[in-house]
Amino acid sequence: MKSLYHLMILVVLLGPVKFNECKTTDARQNTVRRFPEGFLFGTATASYQVEGAWNVDGKAENIWDHLTHTHPCDIKDCSNGDIANDSYNQYKRDVEMMRELGLDFYRFSLSWTRILPTSFVDKINEAGVNYYNNLIDEMLKYNIQPMVTLYHWDMPQKLQDLGGWNNPHIVDWYGDYARTVFELFGDRVKNWITMNEPREICYQGYGDVTMAPRLNIKGVADYMCAKNLLLAHARAYHIYNDEFRETQNGTIGITISAGFSEPASESEEDKVAAEEAALFGWGIYAQPIFSETGDFPSILKEKVAAKSAEQGFLRSRLPEFTPEEVEYVRGTSDFFGLNHYSSGYTFRNESVLGIFESPSSDDDLGAGSYVLEEWETSASSWLKVVPWGFYKLLVKIKDDYNNPPVFITENGFSTLGGLEDDGRISYYRKYLDAMLDAIAEGCDVRVYTAWSLMDNFEWMQGYTERFGLYEVDYEDPARTRTPRKSAFVYKEIVRSRALDWSYQPDTDVMTIDDGH
| Tens digit of each residue's pLDDT (9 = 90 or more) over 440-486 | 999 999 999 999 999 999 999 999 999 999 999 999 999 999 999 99
For residue 262, the SS3 value is strand
Instruction: Quote the strand ranges of 329-457, DSSP E.
Output: 336-339, 344-347, 368-370, 406-410, 445-451
Plot region of 348 (φ>0 → left; ψ -120 to 50 → alpha; else → beta): beta
What is the DSSP-derived secondary structure letter of residue 501? Answer: T
> Average of pLDDT values for 255-261?
98
Mean pLDDT check: name the lowest of 345-349, 419-423, 438-442, 509-513. Answer: 509-513
Query: Any catalytic annotation for residue 324?
Result: no
502 occurs within a structural domain: no
260-318 pLDDT, tens digit each? 999 999 999 999 999 999 999 999 999 999 999 999 999 999 999 999 999 999 999 99
For the question of whether the overall pTM of this predicted structure is more than 0.85, the answer is yes
pLDDT of residue 514: 64
Q: Which residues face 255 on adjacent strands?
A: 196, 337
> SS3 of 34, please?
strand
CA 262 to chain centre: 21
Domain presence at residue 246: yes
Q: Is residue 13 included in any domain, yes or no?
A: no
**CA-CA distance, 444 to 398, in Å (whole number)?**
8
For residue 359, give the nearest of 299, 320, 308, 297 by alpha carbon: 308
> Of the listed 100, 200, 276, 410, which one is catalytic?
410
Residue 28 has a pLDDT of 67
Assign residue 38 a region: left if phi > 0, alpha if psi is -120 to 50, beta otherwise? left
Residues 6+ apart with CB under 8 A from 61: 54, 55, 113, 156, 157, 158
Specify if 14 maps to a domain. no
Which 3 state secondary structure label does DSSP give 201? helix
Residue 21 domain-assigned (yes or no)? no
Which of helix, strand or coil describes residue 253? strand
CB atoms within 10 A of CB 78: 11
Tell me whether residue 202 is exposed, middle or buried, using C-beta atoms within 10 angstroms of its C-beta: 0 to 12, 13 to 18, 19 or more.
buried
Beta-carbon count within 10 A of 372 CB: 12
Share of the chain above pLDDT 90, in %: 93
Strand, helix or coil at 273? helix
User: What residue type is assigned to position 240 of the chain?
Assistant: Y
> Distance between CA atoms of 141 and 133, rounded to whole angstroms?
12
Q: Say whether 351 sits in a helix, a strand or coil.
A: helix
CB 92 within 8 A of CB 481: no
Backbone torsions φ then ψ of 186, nearest 5 degrees? -70, -15
Which pLDDT value is given to residue 158? 98
> What domain range includes position 400?
28-497
Q: What is the pLDDT of residue 27?
A: 59
Cβ within 8 Å of residue 497, ≥6 positions away: 34, 35, 39
pLDDT band at 428 (very low <50, low <70, confident <90, very high): very high
- Quickly state the pLDDT bin for 31 (edges 50, 70, 90): confident
Question: What is the Cα–Cα distance from 340 to 229, expressed in whole angstroms?
Answer: 20
pLDDT of residue 125: 98
Does residue 227 form part of some domain? yes
Q: What's the confidence (pLDDT) of residue 26?
A: 58
Give the residue from 35, 43, 4 showing the smallest Cα distance to 469.
43
Q: Is the pLDDT of residue 379 over 60?
A: yes
**CB-neighbour burial class of residue 122 (10 A; exposed 0-12, middle 13-18, buried 19+):** exposed
Any idea what the Cα angle at residue 35 is, between residues 34 and 41, rounded to 5°? 135
Q: How far is Cα 53 from Cα 50, in angstroms, rounded to an integer?
A: 10
Q: What angle is formed at CA 467 by the lines to CA 462 and CA 470, rounded to 5 degrees?
A: 110
Determine the distance from the C-alpha atom of residue 366 to the mean position of all C-alpha atoms in its chain, rounded to a whole number.
Answer: 25
Report, as an integer, the average pLDDT of 89-117. 98
Provide the mean pLDDT of the chain: 94
From the list 275, 297, 311, the residue with the least C-alpha distance to 230 is 297
The Cα 307–Cα 358 span in angstroms is 9
Task: Look at the alpha carbons of 206, 207, 208, 210 in this order and tell me if their dihedral is positive or negative.
Answer: negative
Judging by beta carbons within 10 Å of its beta carbon (0-12, 13-18, 19+), is residue 148 exposed, middle or buried?
buried
The answer to whether the beta carbons of residues 281 and 262 sit under 8 Å apart is no
What total number of domains does the chain contain?
1
Q: What is the CA radius of gyration of the chain?
A: 22
Q: How far apart are the C-alpha atoms of 469 and 12, rounded to whole Å?
A: 35
Per DSSP, 156 falls in state: B
User: What number is the average pLDDT over the span 355-384?
Assistant: 97
For 482-513, how does the pLDDT look when each residue is reduced to its tens digit (9 = 90+)? 999 999 999 999 999 999 999 999 999 999 98
Q: How is 54-88 classified by DSSP, letter by letter?
A: TTSTT---BHHHHHHHHSGGGSTTS--SSSTT-TT
Peptide linkage before 452 cis (omega within 30 of 0) = yes
* Residues 10/383, Cβ–Cβ less than 8 Å: no
Residues in the chain: 516
Q: Where residue 406 sits, what CATH number does that domain have?
A: 3.20.20.80
Nearest Cα residue to 149 out of 358, 451, 441:
451
Q: Is the dihedral of CA 350, 353, 263, 428 positive or negative?
A: negative
Q: pLDDT digits over 50-67, tens only?
A: 999 999 999 999 999 999
197 included as an active-site residue: yes
Q: Is residue 406 part of a domain?
A: yes
In a domain, 512, yes or no: no
Q: Which of 400, 403, 387 is nearest to 435 (CA)?
A: 387
Catalytic residue among 51, 61, 197, 465: 197
For residues 47 and 108, is the Cβ–Cβ distance under 8 A? yes
Q: Which of 78, 222, 64 is nearest to 157 (CA)?
A: 64
Average pLDDT over residues 166-195: 98
